[in-house]
Amino acid sequence: MKLMQGAMAALLAATVMTSAAAAKVIDVAAGEGAQQRLQEALILAEPGDTVRLGEGVFVLTDGLSLDVDGVTVRGAGAERTILDFAGQQGAGEGLLVTSDDVVLRDFAVRDTRGDGIKSKAAHRIVYLNLKVEWTGEPETSNGAYGVYPVESEHVLIDGVFVRGASDAGIYVGQSRNIIVRDSVAVQNVAGIEIENSYNADVHDNVATGNTGGILVFDLPGLPQQGGHSVRLFDNIIVNNMTANFAPAGNIVATVPAGSGVIVMANRDVEIFDNVFEGNGTANIMITAYRYGEMSEGYQPLPVRIRAMGNLHGRTGFQPALPGGAEMAAAFGGNLPPVLWDGAGGPISIADQVGAISLGLPDLTQPREAARPGPVDLSAPADWPRVPAVVLPASMEAAAAAE
């Protein structure tokens, strides 16, 4: 038996060494025929390979796709390697990834017809030092999402810049075990959005100039519901005053300009050690889902939400809510930093700032029935803290590699 185990171990080691030795670098340069050459490289790549993109602008006319596990797609830097989709003929994403253990790093994607970079059911995916941008003014016709991992386990978004998305710049949906860090979201409808997801840490990011800075939503009718265990910390969430330019009918089309953080229908969300300033509606909004029919098993209320250690600057000076100007006038010109619709709970705000409730605990109440007034949410939280997210060591190693 020991002899057999030894032989199997040797075979496994030999297989790993052979695989590592066989891994290759496939170089793709910008220039004529880039569309065909780059897509061919993504098709022919094998696990362990690196597709290395040269400096320059890759002029592309169609979307790209990758469906091979364990591939790294690497440019020369987000300012030096640019995938330009301004002439894209289809309406899809710029790059679609449907394989596991993929690393996307050091390049830019601009002016896609649809989403910038999407990954679906792509587990242990790393988005590193990327830039996704729509180069004109914010427009409804821009793609919906900048980076868009969905239905995935273990997601790392690190050092990503997104500007101009008509839904969310950085979006993670129906996924679990997520870290979004050291990234910048500017002039999107939602800067960063965690939707219908479990276990997410969103930290050390800048969300500025968006309609809403960071959203934590849970919506009905999706395969994964019951979003929970999300921590937002050490972020800078400032001056999110861009008019909403989402297409009509989209859930984020309801986000009022001037929103810092919005938590909708999630449980166990922590908001701590962030900097808020210049958000004209509110720094923190906590609300139930109030938009029509709900699917079986859906839980529409916010539950166990806590905020602490946040720095609150000027806010509530231009509330983009029905009756917002009248509410602000009733509060002396500005709404307080925290706004709650009155449904769900418990909620604990330990920031020593004012809060307002709309007085709508019953989801069947119309918005016209709101009776806004001050509310004391300062009672200490008596439920357990949300644990930190820990990703596989291989993902952290990929992010740390030069």
pLDDT tens-digit map of 91-130: 789 999 999 999 999 999 999 999 999 999 999 999 999 9
202 — pLDDT class (breaks 50, 70, 90): very high
pLDDT tops 80 at residue 3: no
Q: What mean pLDDT is predicted for residues 139-166?
A: 97
Give the residue among 199, 232, 261 at the shortest CA–CA distance from 387: 199
Percentage of residues in the chain with pLDDT exceeding 90?
85
Q: Do the beta carbons of residue 281 and residue 339 sit within 8 Å?
A: yes
pLDDT score for 322? 87
Short-list 269, 266, 308, 304, CA closest to 287: 266
Most confident residue range from 3-17, 153-167, 283-297: 153-167
DSSP 8-state class, residue 385: P
Q: What is the mean pLDDT of residues 28-50?
A: 97
**What average pLDDT does the segment 308-327 reach?**
94
Q: Where are the domains of the chain?
A: 136-144+216-389
Q: Which two tokens stand for residue 261?
A: 């953080």
Looking at the chain, the whole-number percentage of residues with pLDDT higher than 70 is 95
CA distance 111 to 313: 34
* Tens digit of each residue's pLDDT (9 = 90 or more) over 230-244: 999 999 999 999 999
pLDDT tens-digit series, residues 261-305:
999 999 999 999 999 999 999 999 999 999 888 888 999 999 999
The residue behind tokens 């710049």 is 169
Q: Are 220 and 257 in contact (CB under 8 A)?
A: no
Instruction: Quickly state the pLDDT bin for 9 (edges 50, 70, 90).
Output: very low
Mean pLDDT of 186-191: 98
The pair of three-digit structure tokens given for residue 86, joined into one six-digit string: 């301004």
Does the pTM of the predicted model rise above 0.75? yes
Residue 21 reports pLDDT greater than 90: no
Q: Is the peptide bond preceding residue 47 cis, with omega within 30 degrees of 0?
A: no
Task: Report, as an integer, the average pLDDT of 312-338.
Answer: 92
Read off the pLDDT band of 90 (50, 70, 90). Answer: confident
Give helix then strand counts, H and E, for the chain: 4, 34
Q: How far apart are CA 102 and CA 125, in angstroms?
A: 5
Structure-derived torsion over alpha carbons of residues 255, 256, 259, 265, reported in degrees to the nearest 10: -40
Write out pLDDT tens, residues 352-399: 999 999 999 999 888 888 899 999 999 999 999 999 999 999 999 999
Q: What is the pLDDT of residue 5?
A: 41
Strands 373-374, 355-357: pairing kind: antiparallel
Mean pLDDT across the chain: 93
